[in-house]
Amino acid sequence: MSDLTIWHNPRCSKSRETLALLKANGHAPVIRLYLTDPPDTAGISACLDVLGINAIDLMRVKEKRFKELGLSKDMPSDRLVAAMAENPVLIERPIVFSAGKAAIGRPPEAVLAIL
């Protein structure tokens, strides 16, 4: 089993570019289509811990669903994590995990630092 995983959305250009970059560098990551196989709150919290960021920093705040749910940047972290678990479209993408490290592929080259 690969120790390299990508939370991937094939409709997202940055996600596709990040996956292509990984493959071009000889990596064959496990692809988790997080929109259809969303992480639970524990998985999102673990992701935040590894990334070393706050919940709001993992959210797509310009996503229509963010406003529809009445979310704000000032909400408690647990509420934002729950919203991402219930609405994975709110999770920033892509996220690459490797050997206990993680990086958001924005820009795609950012993931190379954890390989």
- Distance between CA 63 and CA 103 in Å, rounded? 21
User: Would you say 20 and 110 are in contact if contact means Cβ atoms under 8 Å apart?
Assistant: no
* 12 annotated active-site: yes
Q: Which of 4, 12, 46, 50 is catalytic?
A: 12
- Distance between CA 36 and CA 67 in Å, rounded? 22
Q: Which residues are catalytic?
A: 12
